[in-house]
Structure formats: structure tokens, C-alpha cells
């Protein structure tokens, strides 16, 4: 039997698993009860761990810890998750700098990748039962703005679930694949993803099988749940009694469910009756009224869209189509608003709850080697490099390089006898290291003590198909190696990528000048060191006093220039010193040759042939 690779949408609210059948049809795999969605919920209690629907039912059980929306915590530091922690009702503790959820009955804490693993395992089991074969290979989707750390954490979740994650792909890319984009159909596509609690907008440039995310924007706290809340608040206005009853969590939860039911019904009806006899409440909600209630949310999504367009320097006219993703885009008001805003065809024929999983399955199928017609490549969103002398950035992998990719470069020491080098890995477009994002630092120790500039240190950057970076430094004579896999690179949000690019563009000129100065100072320092060393070694008789004075005078001029900020001046003074010391270098050479000759006899002719 051919090995099947599955596609998984690991969502904030729901997760799904899909695969591509032999006949080419993509199928989202249901559970035994025929449900395709799996709530991304894990419940911890004395009687065990539950995942999915049964976990969600426990939401009001005081004896159970119900973990939901753990995706928001994935691959981030405890500090960074402060805002998200305040939005959840379960406790989150600081576990060596990472967030973790205590499991009191088992005396341990679960990290977000472990929570993700439980969900993935459930999906894996579901797939194995449905397919009647073991499933180990998968493609998993993540939001386009996920940084290296968040992607790595998602991959870790897969590994913990016994899955071999062949690739992590962006959710908007998956949605586009589900619509068959990328094989022949090129263009700029907007992906509008409004889920339960998050809104993600991406502009996807598809050209010759390369999917490039041109811009992302969104709101990590905007989604269907806000509409549900707006509905319950409306009810509280109508009935103060209901409002006071809702102080009890189980009532609040019931109302929330009722509100969601009403909202969903209003996608196909124009009016719905709501009756809560126990609370003596009865009311009618119309679609028109719901449209009014969601108007501020519609406006917020469109504001994000406008920002993404302006960041990427495009207009609605450049967009070839809009893909609708996420359960909340079923609500007619959103379709209308998006359709009117873009005036472009909407891709809405694939179920918006399933479209990401289906696209992941398409990619999975490609990776299983069954399809040769479509080649999918991803690119690095920002440049990657290291800090070199003078605090400048040396780029190894430029932005927009298709991954997987590898780059090597040789570096050396800067101080005589230096036995350690610090490798500082950077991400970003700025010339100076301090202006870029610091991804990691590590040390290569045990370099043989040699004069500056002699050791050869090879630095290799290897970035895999998931954008996970491994940096290795190797000293070539000893073979000493040190490396780092870049992993929790905390704090790079979707806005950050955009801001970093914008900043780089805004600072091009001044960065150029700063870089010129830094490079010129480095060069000047090297020439200065060499000059002082030579002056110390050269014998009086071969360097006239006037020459020595002239050199020292130029040294002072160069030092003064180095104190200043004009890179060109530093370079000119350095060149002048270089020129002045040229004869000195020649004399030194002669001096050492005659020294050498004086101390040794020339070999006899027959010896040289021996």
C-alpha cells in the first residue's frame, strides 16, 4: 500500500486532518460520529486526559483544567504571552521561561507543544482508523506570521505525537492550494481568514509555483467569539434578569452557545427566535440587527486589510482574487463587505472551515511523491546573517531565498592569539547588527592562538523547508565545530516582519553611511595595528627619522578621522597611511630576508633533489 501523507490544520479553535485519495479527491477525515472538526481543547482531570468534544464539555467542571486556544502560547516565552494568558480561564505558569499549564493530578505541567501533541495524536489516531493503515508523515499548517520559534514548537508538537512533520506550511498558502492556485494560475491573491478568535489577512504573491507572503496583518483577538459576545450583551440589555443570572459560569456558557447557534442560523435565515424559558427570556434576533452589532468588527477587519495593502505598496486593483477562510466568513455581511471592498471574485466554494486542511492535504500529496505537476516552494521572509567586526551585518541568506537553502562563508579572527569567536546570528535588512533582530549567540572555542586574520572559520547557514535554521561554525585547521539550531526566537509577530522591512527601507541611506564608517574604521584599525607592529620591528638604519615622523603624523590624522563619523575621510586617511608605509613594508621584507640568509647555508644542489 502506498504510504499516505496527511495534511493537518492545527487551529486555535478547531483542528482537522485530511488526505488526498487515489482518485484525486481530497477528503477531510471524520471521527466515528461523522464530525470532521476536532475542538482544539484538552481537559486534564483525575480520571485522565480528554481531547476534543469530550474535553470541551468539561469547561465548567471545577475539578477539571480545560485548556483551549493553546496555539496562542505556542513557541513563545512566558513574558510574551502575558496578554494571551489574561484571556484564558486556566492557570499558566512560568516553566523555565516558557508558559506551561499545570496538571495537578499528575504533578507536572504541560507545555504548549505537549498540548498540541495531544490534539495531533487524536487526529493521527482518527486518520489511522479511517484509513486502516499507520500514519506517520504529515504536513502541518501555521499562520503566516508565525516566527521560527513558533514553527519549531509546532514541529515539536508533531514529533511528540509520533508524527514526522515533513513540512510546516502557511495557512494562506494552504488555502490557495486548495483552490488549485499555483499550478498555472499566477497572481496576487488576498486571503481573508476570520476564525473563532483570530483574524488573519495575507497577501499572497503566486508566481511559477512560488508562494510568497507579501504582507500579513490582522488581529489576534478578533473573531466569531466577539460576535457571540455582542449577541449576549444585546440580550443583557433587553433583560437585566438574564444579565444577573449570567454571573454563574454555567449560565454564561449556555448563553454563549445559544448566541453562537443564533448567529449561525442567521447565515441562512433572516430572523431567529431565542427562548430561554428557565430564565423567563424570549426574544427575536434579526439578521439586520446582527449586521449592526458586527459593524465595528467588519470595520476593524477592513482596517487591517488597508494596512496590509499599503505596506506592500499595492491597491485592490492589483489583487486578482480573494480567498475566504474560517467559519466566520460564512456570515453574509462579511462576504458582502469583502466583495464590495475588493470588487474582485471571491473564492468561497470550498468550505471555509475545511479549506486549510484540504490545502495541507494537497501539499502532503505532493510531498508523498504522487504528484509531479506542482512544485511548491517557500521563501525566507527576512535576510539571515551574522554580526562581524565593527558591529556590521554580514548576510548569508538574503531575504526571499527559496528554502531549503544553504550558504557558507569564511571568517577570521581580529585580535592576535584570539582563541574564541562569538557568532551572533541576525535576522533583518539593516546594515548594522544592533538594528537587526538577534536570533541567537554562540561561541566557537578552542581556536589555535594565531596572528589576527590567520584562522579560517567557516560559517554555514542551513535552512530547511520549514524555515528552521541551523548555524554551524567550524575552524578549518582543528575541525573544531560549534552550532545552534534556531528555535525559540521569541517575539517576531506579523507586524514586526512588516515593520522591520519598512524600517530598513526608511534607513537605507543612513545605514549605508554607518556601514561605510564601520567598515572604514575596521580597515583603519587593521592598517594601524600593522603599522605600529612594523615600526616596532624595523631597525633605525633602514627607516630615516623623517619617514618615521611622517608616518606617525599620518597615524594621528587617521586616528582623528576614526573618532569622527565620516567614513570616506577615514578611508582616505587610511589609504594615505597605507601609501606612506609601503616603502616601510618593502624595507622590512628585505630586512627579514637578509636576516634569514645570514643565519643559514643554501642547500646543495643534490640535496634539493633528494
Q: Which residues are catalytic?
A: 9, 71, 171, 193
Residues that bind ligand ADP (CB under 6 A): 11-14, 195-198, 223-225, 260, 263-264, 267, 326-328, 330-331, 353
Q: In whole angstroms, how close is the CB of 365 to ligand ADP at the nearest point?
A: 22
**HSE-CB of 559 using CA atoms within 13 angstroms:** 10
Q: In whole angstroms, how close is the CB of 235 to ligand ADP at the nearest point?
A: 17
In sequence order, what are the residues at sequence separation of 6 or more whose Cβ sits closer than 8 angstroms to the Cβ of residue 368? 2, 3, 4, 5, 137
Rounded-to-integer distance, Cα 350 and Cα 141, Å: 17
Stretch that binds Mg ion, among 7-15, 108-116, 176-184, 223-231 (CB under 5 A): 7-15
Q: Check: CB of residue 346 under 8 Å from CB of residue 338.
A: yes
Burial 286-314 (b: 16+ CB within 10 A, else e): ebeebbebbeebbeebbebbebbbebbeb
Q: In whole angstroms, how close is the CB of 11 to Mg ion at the nearest point?
A: 4
Looking at beta carbons only, is 50 or 71 nearer to ligand ADP? 71
- Binding pattern for the stretch 187-226 against Mg ion, x by CB under 5 A and - elsewhere: --------x-------------------------------
Count of residues engaged in binding Mg ion, rule: CB under 5 A: 2
Longest dimension (CA), the chain: 117
DSSP state at residue 432: B
DSSP code per residue over 477-498: TT--EEEEEE---TT--HHHHH
Alpha carbon dihedral 487, 490, 496, 501, in 10-degree steps, equals -40
Q: Check: CB of residue 216 under 8 Å from CB of residue 188.
A: no
Q: Which does 76 bind (CB under 5 to 8 A by kind): ligand ADP, Mg ion, none?
A: none
Looking at beta carbons only, is 158 or 195 nearer to Mg ion? 195
Looking at beta carbons only, is 122 or 387 nearer to ligand ADP? 122
Burial 263-272 (b: 16+ CB within 10 A, else e): bbbbbeeeeb
Q: Which does 143 bind (CB under 5 to 8 A by kind): ligand ADP, Mg ion, none?
A: none
Query: Applying CB under 5 A, does 11 fall inside the site for Mg ion?
Result: yes
State the CB neighbour count (10 A cutoff) for residue 385.
Answer: 25
Q: In whole angstroms, how close is the CB of 19 to Mg ion at the nearest point?
A: 19
Stretch that binds Mg ion, among 8-16, 46-54, 278-286, 341-349 (CB under 5 A): 8-16
Q: Which does 328 bind (CB under 5 to 8 A by kind): ligand ADP, Mg ion, none?
A: ligand ADP
Rounded-to-integer distance, Cα 189 and Cα 172, Å: 9
Looking at beta carbons only, is 12 or 482 nearer to Mg ion? 12
Q: Which does 462 bind (CB under 5 to 8 A by kind): Mg ion, ligand ADP, none?
A: none
Q: In whole angstroms, how close is the CB of 403 to ligand ADP at the nearest point?
A: 25
**HSE-CB of 467 using CA atoms within 13 angstroms:** 30
Q: Which does 390 bind (CB under 5 to 8 A by kind): ligand ADP, Mg ion, none?
A: none
Mutual angle of helices 494-506 and 287-311, in 10-degree steps: 40
Q: In whole angstroms, how close is the CB of 38 to Mg ion at the nearest point?
A: 13
Looking at beta carbons only, is 175 or 245 nearer to ligand ADP? 175
Q: Which does 330 bind (CB under 5 to 8 A by kind): Mg ion, ligand ADP, none?
A: ligand ADP
Q: In whole angstroms, how close is the CB of 443 to Mg ion at the nearest point?
A: 41
Give the 3-state DSSP-derived string for 187-222, with helices as H, strands as E and coil as C.
Answer: EEEEEEEECCCCEEEEEEEEECCEEEEEEEEEECCC
Rounded-to-integer distance, Cα 585 and Cα 583, Å: 5
Query: Applying CB under 5 A, does 7 fall inside the site for Mg ion?
Result: no
Q: Which does 264 bind (CB under 5 to 8 A by kind): Mg ion, ligand ADP, none?
A: ligand ADP
In 220-320, at which residue ranges do the beta strands (DSSP E only) sit?
271-276, 281-286
Q: In whole angstroms, how close is the CB of 71 to ligand ADP at the nearest point?
A: 8
The 3-state DSSP class for residue 74 equals coil
Task: Please give the residue ranges that form the binding site for Mg ion (CB under 5 A).
Answer: 11, 195
Amino acid at each position: 500500500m502506498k504510504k499516505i501523507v496527511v495534511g493537518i490544520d492545527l487551529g486555535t479553535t478547531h483542528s482537522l486532518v485530511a488526505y488526498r485519495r487515489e482518485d484525486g479527491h481530497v477528503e477531510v477525515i471524520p471521527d466515528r460520529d461523522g464530525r470532521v472538526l476536532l475542538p482544539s481543547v484538552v481537559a486534564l482531570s483525575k480520571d485522565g486526559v480528554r481531547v476534543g468534544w469530550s474535553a470541551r464539555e468539561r469547561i465548567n467542571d471545577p475539578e477539571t483544567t480545560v485548556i483551549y486556544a493553546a496555539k496562542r502560547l505556542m513557541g513563545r516565552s512566558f513574558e510574551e504571552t502575558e496578554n494571551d494568558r489574561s484571556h484564558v480561564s486556566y492557570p499558566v505558569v512560568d516553566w523555565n521561561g516558557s508558559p506551561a499549564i499545570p496538571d495537578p493530578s499528575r504533578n507536572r505541567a504541560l507545555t504548549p507543544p505537549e498540548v498540541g501533541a495531544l490534539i495531533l495524536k487524536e487526529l493521527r489516531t482518527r486518520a489511522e482508523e479511517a484509513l486502516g493503515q499507520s500514519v506517520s508523515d504529515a504536513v502541518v499548517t501555521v499562520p503566516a506570521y508565525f516566527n521560527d520559534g513558533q514553527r519549531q514548537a509546532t514541529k515539536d508538537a508533531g514529533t511528540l505525537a509520533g508524527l514526522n512533520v515533513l513540512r510546516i506550511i502557511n495557512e494562506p498558502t494552504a488555502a490557495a492550494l486548495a483552490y488549485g492556485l499555483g499550478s498555472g494560475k499566477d497572481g496576487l491573491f488576498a486571503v481573508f481568514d476570520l476564525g473563532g478568535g483570530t483574524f488573519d489577512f495575507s497577501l499572497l504573491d503566486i508566481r511559477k509555483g512560488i508562494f510568497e507572503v507579501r504582507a500579513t496583518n490582522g488581529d489576534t483577538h478578533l473573531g466569531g467569539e466577539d460576535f457571540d459576545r455582542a449577541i449576549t450583551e444585546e440580550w443583557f440589555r433587553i433583560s437585566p434578569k438574564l444579565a444577573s443570572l449570567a454571573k454563574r459560569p454555567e449560565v454564561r456558557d449556555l448563553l454563549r452557545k445559544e448566541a453562537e447557534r443564533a448567529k449561525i442560523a442567521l447565515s441562512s435565515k433572516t430572523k431567529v427566535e431565542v427562548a430561554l424559558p428557565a430564565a423567563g427570556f424570549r426574544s427575536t434576533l434579526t439578521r439586520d440587527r446582527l449586521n449592526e452589532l458586527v459593524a465595528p468588527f467588519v470595520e476593524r477587519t477592513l482596517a487591517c486589510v488597508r494596512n496590509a495593502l499599503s505596506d506592500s505598496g499595492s491597491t485592490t486593483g492589483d489583487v486578482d482574487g480573494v480567498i475566504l477562510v474560517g467559519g466566520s466568513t460564512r456570515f453574509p455581511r462579511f462576504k458582502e463587505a469583502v466583495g464590495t471592498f475588493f470588487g474582485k471574485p471571491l473564492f468561497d466554494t470550498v468550505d471555509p472551515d475545511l479549506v486549510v486542511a484540504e490545502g495541507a492535504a494537497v501539499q502532503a500529496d505532493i510531498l508523498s511523491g504522487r504528484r509531479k505537476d506542482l512544485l511548491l516552494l517557500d521563501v525566507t521572509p527576512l535576510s539571515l546573517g551574522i554580526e562581524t567586526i565593527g558591529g556590521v551585518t554580514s548576510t548569508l541568506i538574503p531575504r526571499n531565498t527559496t528554502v531549503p537553502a544553504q550558504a557558507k562563508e569564511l571568517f577570521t579572527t581580529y585580535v592576535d592569539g584570539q582563541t574564541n569567536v562569538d557568532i551572533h546570528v541576525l535576522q533583518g535588512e539593516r546594515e548594522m547588527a544592533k538594528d537587526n533582530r538577534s536570533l541567537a549567540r554562540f561561541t566557537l572555542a578552542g581556536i589555535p592562538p594565531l596572528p589576527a586574520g590567520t584562522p579560517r572559520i567557516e560559517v554555514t547557514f542551513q535552512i530547511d523547508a520549514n524555515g528552521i535554521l541551523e548555524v554551524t561554525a567550524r575552524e578549518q585547521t582543528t575541525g573544531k565545530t560549534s552550532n545552534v539550531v534556531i528555535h525559540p526566537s521569541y517575539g517576531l509577530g506579523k507586524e514586526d516582519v512588516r515593520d522591520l522591512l519598512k524600517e530598513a527601507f526608511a534607513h537605507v541611506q543612513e545605514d549605508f553611511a554607518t556601514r561605510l564608517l564601520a567598515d572604514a574604521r575596521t580597515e583603519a584599525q587593521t592598517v594601524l595595528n600593522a603599522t605600529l607592529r612594523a615600526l616596532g620591528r624595523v631597525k633605525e638604519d633602514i627607516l630615516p627619522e623623517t619617514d618615521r615622523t611622517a608616518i606617525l603624523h599620518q597615524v594621528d590624522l587617521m586616528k582623528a578621522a576614526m573618532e569622527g563619523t565620516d567614513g570616506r575621510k577615514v578611508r582616505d586617511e587610511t589609504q594615505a597611511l597605507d601609501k606612506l608605509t609601503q616603502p616601510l613594508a618593502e624595507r622590512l621584507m628585505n630586512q627579514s630576508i637578509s636576516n634569514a640568509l645570514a643565519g643559514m647555508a643554501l642547500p646543495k644542489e643534490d640535496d634539493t633533489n633528494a
